[in-house]
Amino acid sequence: MFNGILIEKDEAGYRASYQSLSEEILPAGDVTVAVQWSSLNYKDGLALTGASPVVRRFPLIPGIDFAGTVLESQHPDWHPGDKVVLNGWGVGETHSGGLAERARVRGDWLVALPERFQPRDAMAIGTAGYTAMLCVMALEKHGITPGDGDILVTGANGGVGSVAITLLAKLGYRVVAATGRLNEADYLTSLGAAEVIDRAELATPGRPLANACATTRYGGAVAACGLAGGMDFPSTVMPFILRGVTLYGIDSVMAPRPLRQQAWARLAEDLDLTRLHLLTREVPLSQVVTLGNAFLAGQVRGRILVNVQG
């Protein structure tokens, strides 16, 4: 038996609870992992509350990411004792995930924990931080360098936003953080933001992405990964046809393994761990269920790290 969160949906309704679970609940997979740390991301908030149909198989252990140690493996790349990280691939949505002391997954989904990190560091970064790195890499691939001008980070106080600010500042970019919570300006500055602006300056309400495109310089680029402000994208073609702006879509869930390995290697190289710990709050697994609503209310600051053994 092991402890975990279980999402169930039946005549009694949709519910998430902390339970003692048996091995039979784990899905098929060629690697079994002792999960040490997981984290909460926006999508976990949707899964825990049922606010959006993220979970599509029941019963299911939520948690779109985890870090831990391989217990058993039939996969040629992994052996007992290996330290691994997992993000996405439908884990926590259609395949049981990281919010439990055990996970069973496909070995092809795993990435080796970079040597510089402990499993705890990897989940302080989590899917939000790895996605922030994918965004930074897309901008770099576009050819953007620190001398090209300011970089705008929207949703600045959230997990993706906080890690993006930290990474970009360390890489030498001048970061402008856009937020709906100006009272957190000191926090954003401590992460490396050079300037903090009110989200309302950028947007007619709920439209920060469209306005980010509208304010992007000639030949510049926008890396878009989120929907906290809503799914609509009411823009015009003008930024694209008059200033040659490029919009990059960022997907972390099905990103190919080499890109993930590159992103984790870059995080190990470029992330300031002292600042990472400034933006992280730790909670025990037993308290996770109550935290889902905070994401929907836009109240999460930085990253929520889950101590799965705690």
- Interface with ligand NDP (CB under 6 A): 41-43, 127-128, 131, 155-161, 179-181, 199, 206, 208, 225-229, 250-253, 295, 298, 300
Q: How far is the CB of 264 from ligand NDP (least distance, A)?
A: 15
Q: How far is the CB of 225 from ligand NDP (least distance, A)?
A: 4
CA 17 → CA 59, 203, 292, distances in Å? Answer: 11, 38, 12
Residue type, 34: A
Q: Which lies closer to ligand NDP via its Cβ, residue 114 or residue 298?
A: 298
Q: How far is the CB of 220 from ligand NDP (least distance, A)?
A: 20
Query: Which residue sits closest to ligand NDP, CB atoms considered?
Result: 158
Q: Which lies closer to ligand NDP via its Cβ, residue 96 or residue 252?
A: 252
Q: Which lies closer to ligand NDP via its Cβ, residue 102 or residue 207?
A: 207
Is residue 138 within 8 A of residue 248, CB to CB? The reply is yes
Q: How far is the CB of 54 from ligand NDP (least distance, A)?
A: 9
Take residue 20 and report the two structure tokens written for it.
């003692």
Is residue 275 within 8 A of residue 249, CB to CB? The reply is no
Q: How far is the CB of 151 from ligand NDP (least distance, A)?
A: 15
Q: How far is the CB of 200 from ligand NDP (least distance, A)?
A: 10
Q: Which lies closer to ligand NDP via its Cβ, residue 68 or residue 158?
A: 158
Among residues 66, 52, 87, which one has the least CA distance to residue 4?
A: 66
Q: Which lies closer to ligand NDP via its Cβ, residue 30 or residue 282?
A: 282
Beta pairing partners, 31: 73, 105
Burial class of residue 251 (count of CB atoms within 10 Å of its CB; 0-12, 13-18, 19+)? exposed
Q: How far is the CB of 163 from ligand NDP (least distance, A)?
A: 8
CA 190 → CA 72, 165, 187, 274, 310, distances in Å? Answer: 42, 10, 5, 11, 29
Q: Which lies closer to ligand NDP via its Cβ, residue 38 or residue 157?
A: 157
Q: Which lies closer to ligand NDP via its Cβ, residue 167 or residue 228?
A: 228
